[in-house]
Amino acid sequence: MADEGYFQPREETLPVDELRQLQAQRLREVISYVYANSPVQKRRFDETGIAPGDIKGLEDIAKLPFMDKDDFRKYYPLGLACVESQRIIEMHMSSGSTGIPVVMPYTPADIKQWGECTARCYSMAGAVAGDVAQITPSFGLFNGGFGFYHGARELGLFIIPTGAGNTARQIRLAQDFKTRILTGVVSYATRIIELLEEEGSSLPSLEIGIFGAETFSESMKKKIAAAFNIDKVFDIYGMTETGGVGTLGMDCPAHDGIHLWEDHYIVEILALNENKPVAEGEMGELVLTSLTREALPVIRFRTGDLTRIISRDKCGCGRTHVRIAPITGRVDDMLIVKGVNFFPRQVEHALMEIPGVKPHYQIIIEDNDGIKDVRINVEADESVTGYMVEKHLKEALGFSPKGDVFKPGELPRQAGKAQRVFYKNNNEA
């Protein structure tokens, strides 16, 4: 694996002791910077009794107050920014259940950082300058399209900026321009595969698939790889609060965890609702601190994403940055039915293990006078029966869900990220 491409070889393979020294230095710098340039953060630190001089090493990070999505919404639109609006050249945002969006502003330095981090991901997947990269996420307030674009520009790829939708045209362009790299949200990859199967067509030049924005089970990854007839399918990671897709990292060709770029972010895995790290390898909530963002660095941001450390040792690919498990789910999306706790990703993993089951499914949580039940609807070939699905899910989840098997194409589709979980109140008139 050691010959896999690097975009920034030295930074990606820093000896661990040097990486920790760099993190400590950058932590001191970013805390001083935020304290001096964000009145909101200064007030938060003062209320906690923390001054920049108190942060001397990485172990002192536990002294700092947390941030979460509510902070972004409380100080919408730019109350958390560390720069004046005249220095901001771009912004992206994600919507939330409250209706108040999470906004991330960017300076030119932030765009450069974003592009370099995502270029590392492209290179890690085997991309080289001149490769044809097709970018299918939307180019708009959602950061996906622009994240892939900024990284592709840094690496010097031939960009086809299709954006979202018009799947027939996506396929035609990929065939005509010999797309080698396809990027997108996980569920849109399955839509392209679906149309290719209907047409009896293929993407013969495609070699690399980079997908993100949704939980991505190993079973789904294998299904997508088989359908596209490619070996390289990658799980790219990033979020609005860290600067967008690719800022955090991706899995390397070893596919043994997602590398997080530790020269740009400090990684903590904490017990839920506590300021206490879990034991190495145990599941917990991912907490991140931005070390190199300029417009709005997050400090101990509680992501709500659940994961665990796989290894801090040097990887077979040569990279020394920590590897975490693919995101299992979110703190707030765990489902409890009939006394069994599970996450949508576990359902997906189990479904994709059943031959003939397609990547489109629904998890419907039904409320019957306060008693919750679950219905799982799937699309599948004619050879798949409801009994087969129920039996496999019982083995995987520990209970038997209700549900139906639909023909391919019968379940509704959504633009953008797929909605997998639905709630139905059977008590309503």
Overall average pLDDT of the 46-60 stretch: 96
- Strands 301-307 and 421-425, by their bridges, are unpaired
* pLDDT recorded at residue 424: 79
Work out the percent of the chain whose per-residue pLDDT is above 90. 70
Residue-wise pLDDT tens digits, 78-87: 999 999 999 9
For domain 334-425, give the fold.
Answer: GMP Synthetase; Chain A, domain 3 (3.30.300)
Nearest CA to 247 out of 348, 343, 114 is that of 114
State the pLDDT confidence band at 1, using cuts at 50, 70 and 90: very low
Given the candidates 3.40.50.150, 3.40.50.970, 3.40.50.1950, 3.40.50.12780, the CATH classification of the domain at 1-330 is: 3.40.50.12780
State the pLDDT confidence band at 429, using cuts at 50, 70 and 90: very low
Residue 326 has pLDDT above 60, yes or no: yes
Overall average pLDDT of the 286-299 stretch: 98
Among 41-50, 228-237, 369-378, name the one with the lowest average pLDDT.
369-378
Residue 38 has pLDDT above 70, yes or no: yes
Overall average pLDDT of the 186-215 stretch: 92
* pLDDT recorded at residue 394: 81
Residue-wise pLDDT tens digits, 86-96: 999 999 998 65
Average pLDDT, the chain: 91
State the pLDDT confidence band at 333, using cuts at 50, 70 and 90: low
Question: Which residue ranges make up each domain of the chain?
Answer: 1-330, 334-425
* pLDDT recorded at residue 339: 60
State the pLDDT confidence band at 415, using cuts at 50, 70 and 90: low
Tokens 């896999």 sit on residue: 4
Tokens 């798949």 sit on residue: 384
State the pLDDT confidence band at 3, using cuts at 50, 70 and 90: very low
Residue 355 has pLDDT above 60, yes or no: yes
Handedness of CA 61, 64, 65, 69 (dihedral sign): negative
* pLDDT recorded at residue 40: 97
Residue 4 has pLDDT above 60, yes or no: no
* pLDDT recorded at residue 416: 65
CA–CA gap between residue 32 and residue 30 (Å, rounded): 5
* pLDDT recorded at residue 373: 78
* pLDDT recorded at residue 281: 94
Residue 118 has pLDDT above 80, yes or no: yes
For residues 165 and 264, the model is more confident at 264
